[in-house]
């Protein structure tokens, strides 16, 4: 797969992004990795915290220029992306992995003995909004700290083919204890993008927040999705309250935000 041209280096000499048709507020480029500076910027991050409306005002125009928006949390104990031990050199390409194979492998590692992998869900829930409109709604809620998964969300821009690829594009290592190749998880996100209209809205040190345009509409659909969520992030179910399949699946019905956290 040919590498996309990265517009981010242009912001080094054009911080406002005018040459890209943008009007960016003060921000900074991030190239820090676990092994030292990367050969090009991995993301641009706004200096001021995001507020409701930031996503639509800045993120949507940037997306048309090949820079996809995501909110990053600078308020956790690990600080911002400069201190997240990003590892872009260790990730493969999401399109090289089959999401069903990836989830089946995870399932075998974490599911109970003799509990067979049910396969990808066959239901195709109807969208209740366009994916980008839903993403803006969830981003505004996150920026407004309701719900308050992030303590200090800032808008970031990433050069990526599609929203599902954002974690791999920056070399995010949040799920490193689950899989050290984030591209495999992004392959699953691509499948969810196609089936459920997800967008990657937020990244913390070890937290992923997705908006969902077509969530499960009933328990049958939710149980199919719950199986995929368990394989994708076992901690979501095992460390949830009360930590049962039934309760977890019920919480997915008509839920427009999916969050994942890896211990």
Please provide the distance, in angstroms rounded to a whole number, between the alpha carbons at the two ends of the chain. 33
Predicted local confidence at residue 2, as pLDDT: 56
Predicted local confidence at residue 207, as pLDDT: 96
Inter-residue contact 230 to 111 (CB < 8 Å): yes
DSSP character string of 6-59 = --GGGGGT-TT-GGGT----SEEEE-EETTEE-SS--EEEESSPP-TTHIIIII
Total length of the chain: 263
Q: How many helices (H) and strands (E) does the chain have?
A: 9, 9
Query: How far is CA 64 from its chain centroid?
Result: 19
- Among 243, 246, 245, 248, smallest CA distance to 259 is for 248
Predicted local confidence at residue 241, as pLDDT: 67
Report in angstroms the alpha-carbon separations of 209 from 4, 76, 133, 201, 204: 25, 15, 16, 6, 9
Cα radius of gyration (the chain)? 18
Strands, sheet with 67-73, edge to edge from the N-terminal-most edge strand = 27-30, 43-46, 153-159, 67-73, 198-203, 207-212, 257-261
Predicted local confidence at residue 114, as pLDDT: 80
Kindly report the pTM of this predicted structure: 0.95
- Secondary structure class of 111 (helix, strand, coil): coil
**Residue spans of the chain under pLDDT 70:** 1-2, 241-242
Predicted local confidence at residue 112, as pLDDT: 75
- Residue pLDDT, tens place only, 207-225: 999 999 999 999 999 999 9
CA dihedral 170, 131, 142, 33 (to 10 degrees): 0
- Residue pLDDT, tens place only, 118-128: 999 988 899 99
Predicted local confidence at residue 238, as pLDDT: 85
């Amino acid at each position: 797969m040919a590498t996309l041209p990265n517009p981010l280096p242009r912001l080094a000499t054009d911080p406002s992004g005018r040459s890209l048709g943008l009007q960016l507020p003060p921000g900074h480029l991030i190239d820090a990795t676990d092994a030292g500076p990367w050969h090009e910027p991995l993301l641009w991050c706004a200096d001021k915290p995001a507020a409701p409306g930031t996503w639509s005002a800045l993120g949507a125009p940037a997306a048309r220029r090949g820079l996809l928006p995501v909110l990053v949390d600078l308020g956790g104990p690990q600080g911002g992306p400069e201190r997240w031990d990003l590892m872009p050199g260790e990730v493969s390409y999401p399109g090289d992995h089959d999401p069903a194979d990836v989830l089946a492998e995870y399932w075998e590692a974490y599911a109970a003995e003799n509990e067979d992998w049910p396969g990808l869900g066959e239901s195709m829930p109807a969208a209740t909004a366009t994916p980008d409109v839903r993403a803006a709604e969830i981003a505004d809620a996150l920026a407004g700290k309701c719900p308050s998964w992030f303590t200090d969300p800032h808008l970031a821009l990433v050069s990526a083919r599609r929203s599902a690829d954002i974690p791999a594009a920056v070399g995010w290592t949040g799920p490193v204890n689950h899989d050290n190749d984030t591209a495999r998880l992004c392959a699953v996100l691509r499948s969810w993008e196609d089936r459920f209209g997800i967008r990657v809205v937020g990244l913390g040190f070890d937290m992923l927040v997705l908006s969902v345009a077509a969530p499960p509409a009933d328990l049958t659909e939710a149980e199919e999705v719950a199986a995929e969520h368990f394989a994708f992030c076992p901690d979501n179910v095992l460390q949830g309250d009360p930590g049962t399949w039934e309760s977890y699946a019920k919480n997915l019905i008509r839920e427009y935000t999916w969050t994942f956290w890896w211990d």
